[in-house]
Amino acid sequence: MAIRIIADSCCDLTDQMKKEMNVEMVPLTLSLEHKEYVDDENLDIKQYIHDMAASRTSPKTACPSPERYMNSYKGPESTFVVTLSSALSGSYNSAVLAKNMFVEEVGQKFIHVFDSLSASAAETLIVHKIHELAKLNISDTEIVDRVTKYINEMKTFFLLESLDHLAKAGRLNPIIAKIASILSIKPIMGEDGHGNIRLVEKVRGYKNAFMRLAETIGDEGKNLEEKVLGIAYCNCLERAQEFKQEVLKRYKFKDIILVEAGGVTTTYADDGGIVIAF
Q: What domains lie within the chain, and their CATH numbers?
A: 3-153 (3.40.50.10170), 156-277 (3.30.1180.10)
pLDDT per residue over 208-259, tens digit each? Answer: 999 999 999 999 999 999 999 999 999 999 999 999 999 999 999 999 999 9
Whole-number pLDDT of residue 274 = 97
- What average pLDDT does range 49-78 have in this prediction? 94
Whole-number pLDDT of residue 172 = 59
For all residues of the chain together, what is the average pLDDT?
A: 93
pLDDT-derived band at 198 (thresholds 50, 70, 90) equals: confident
Highest mean pLDDT among 56-65, 161-170, 228-237, 268-277: 228-237
Burial classification of residue 194, based on how many CB atoms lie within 10 Å of its CB (0-12 exposed, 13-18 middle, 19 or more buried) = exposed
Answer yes or no: is pLDDT of 162 > 90.
Answer: no
pLDDT-derived band at 184 (thresholds 50, 70, 90) equals: confident
C-beta contacts of 244-247 below 8 A and 24+ residues apart:
246/210, 246/211, 246/214, 247/214, 247/217
Q: What's the CA gap between 247 and 253, in Å, rounded?
A: 9
Answer yes or no: is pLDDT of 166 > 70.
Answer: no
Q: When comparing pLDDT for 228 and 198, which is higher?
A: 228
pLDDT-derived band at 150 (thresholds 50, 70, 90) equals: very high
**What pTM does this model have?**
0.94
62 touches 26 (CB < 8 A) = no
Across 185-189, 228-232, 248-252, 273-277, least confident range: 185-189
Q: How far is CA 79 from CA 1, 56, 70, 95, 187, in A?
A: 11, 41, 11, 12, 37
Answer yes or no: is pLDDT of 111 > 80.
Answer: yes
DSSP for residue 64: P
Q: When comparing pLDDT for 183 and 28, which is higher?
A: 28
pLDDT-derived band at 176 (thresholds 50, 70, 90) equals: low
Candidates 63, 62, 134, 72; CA nearest to 99 is 72
Answer yes or no: is pLDDT of 171 > 60.
Answer: no
Whole-number pLDDT of residue 14 = 96
Neighbours of 15 (CB within 10 A): 8
